[in-house]
Structure 1
Amino acid sequence: MLNTLVHPAREPSDAVPLVIVHGLFGLGRNFNSIARNLADRRDVIAVDQRNHGDSFRADSHTYPDMAGDIAEVIGSLGGRVDLLGHSMGGKAVMQLALTQPDLIRRLVVADIAPVAYGHDQSQHIRTMRALKLTDLKTRGEADRRLAEFEDDPGLRAFFLQSLDLKADPPRWKINLDVLEREMPNILGWTGAEGPFEGSALFVAGGRSDYILPEHRPVIRTLFPRARIVKLPEAGHWLHADQPREFEATVRIFLDS
């Protein structure tokens, strides 16, 4: 089963658990702050997806695979859940909602649509591979070395969360070989037909081009009860760009 980070409810209630699924190159702990805050009245479980973090390595990385992994986590929780996924994780939770809708009460999809994209992410794999891991002792030194290949400090910090400096030698907690080979599947879409008749919220970054006006018809077809909202000052990593606004938006939807 996937590695999970469990944030128990501080004041238990009858609210169903919330399961959070990260995106490509991410980790469950990317959502630690948001997960802790949303765990005031419900258990919140963040997962490491296959080929990421402390979860298992696999030769396949398709959306049916990822949906099956999430379904197994939900099964271990004993009932329906609310489900939130970002980017690649958003496609995984959409796949699950369209194929096993009874597992999900409410669905939140963060800055992704059920379509194929041309946003190739292979350059990030090349960047991580370029980092010299020999004699690497500190994250600061890793950042200085990575800066030779990536100018954006935010992206460097994001990638370096997946660098295991305790390993000897240090290693990436991301299966770069499989993700590179499976990139066409990750960028694509399965064509799952659904529809998911439950409540769904799509949260778009105002500075992102992942949810565009031309995507709305297919979203409405597959998720007829979907609401689409935008965080104007956020990019694709909207939960990092505007964490409190993102958290408040999710909370209002889940509690309404």
Structure 2
Amino acid sequence: MKLNFKKLGTGKPFVILHGLFGSADNWLSIAKGLENHFTLYLVDQRNHGDSPHADEWNYKVMVEDLKELLDDQKLDMVYLMGHSMGGKTAMKFACTYPEKVEKLIVADISPRYYSVHHQKILEGLNAIDLSSIKSRKEADDILAGYIPELGIRQFLLKSLGRDSNGFVWRINLPVITKNIEEVGKALEEGELYDGRTLFLAGENSNYIQQSDLSDIEQHFPKYEVEFISNAGHWLHAEQPESVIAEVLNFMN
């Protein structure tokens, strides 16, 4: 699959993968802080952003999507970073094609299994009838019945676009809803990346816990963990300067 991506900056290639319900645009502010150091590739994963939609959606095919992008761009080796779902893709890619990854950064996710916990979000998104709403405020009002947090609703509604016929989802909502269990799947036993790996964890998030460290070490023996103060799961949106500083420190 030919993925959509944004390219900016100058220097060694650095690929960034967004999380579930997100897009490449979520990482633009981080990219602006890194563009003097790296050539950045901000990627829309399949069924997200402006990349194609497909019925098949799992980490195996997302890894192959990324491999195709690197081949098309003639990138032999890259720095690779992924957040949440994108972190899972990045981890699996590094284990599958270790020769392609110079250094790996994983933002607020571990290799373990995560149970499905997006039911309310999916209920809310599926409750929005795109054929009848006339404004983004209408969509937000419907979503508010399921998700009280304004910031989360604003993030989700970034995937609500328009075409000549009206509102459309940039995410493949039916496929994501049907296959949501794929998002939480663990790395398989024996999958290994022996390069330097940084795990960034939100201090207020429960996605990376002390009990995850032994599992992380099994797959990424040259790992280190840095906690981002005053940040939850969306650490790049909540504390962008801290994330940029940690990335540059690790790269140098």
Q: Tell me the TM-score normalised to structure 2 length.
A: 0.94
Aligned counterparts, 1:170-181, within 5 A: 170-181=167-178
Question: Alpha-carbon deviations, 1:149-202, whole Å to 9, x = none?
Answer: 321101111001100134522011111111122122211124052321111100
Deviation at 1:134, TM superposition (A): 4.0
CA separation in 2, counterparts of 1:130 and 1:221?
A: 41
Q: Does 1:43 align with 2:39?
A: yes
Q: Match of 1:170, SS? A: strand
Out of 145, 149, 154, the residue aligned to residue 146 of structure 2 is 149
Would the aligned equivalents of 1:7 and 1:43 in 2 still touch at CA under 8 Å? yes
The letter for the 1-side match of 2:177 is E
Spell out, residue by residue over 1:44-102, the C-alpha distance to the aligned partner (whole angstroms, 9 max, x if none).
01111101111111111111111111111122232211000000100000001111100
Aligned letter for 2:199? F
Q: Distance in 2 between matches of 1:91 and 1:252?
A: 22
Is the alpha carbon distance of 1:184 and 1:38 closer, same or farther for their aligned partners in structure 2, counting shifts above 3 Å? same
Gaps of 5+ in 2: none
Q: CA 1:237 to 1:17, structure 2 compared with 1: closer, same or farther past 3 Å?
A: same
Moved more, 87-96 or 175-184: 175-184
Q: Cα RMSD over matched residues?
A: 1.6
How far apart are residue 232 of structure 1 and its match? Answer: 2.4
Provide the C-alpha distance between the structure 1 equivalents of 2:194 and 2:216, rounded to a whole number of angstroms.
12
What residue in structure 1 maps to residue 244 of structure 2? 247
Aligned to 2:4: 3
SS of 1:165's partner is strand
Structure 2 match to 1:55? 51
User: What is the aligned partner in structure 2 of residue 223 from structure 1?
Assistant: 220
Deviation at 1:37, TM superposition (A): 1.8
Matches for 1:179-194 after TM superposition, within 5 Å:
179-191=176-188, 193-194=190-191
Q: How many residues align?
A: 250
Select which of 235, 238, 246 maps to 1:238. Answer: 235
Q: From 91, 94, 104, give the equivalent of 2:91.
A: 94
Aligned to 1:128: 125
My pick for the range that moved more, 33-42 or 165-174, is 165-174
SS at match of 2:62: helix
Structure 2 counterpart of 1:154, which letter?
G
Give the conservation status (yes or no) of the 8 Å contact 1:99–1:192: no
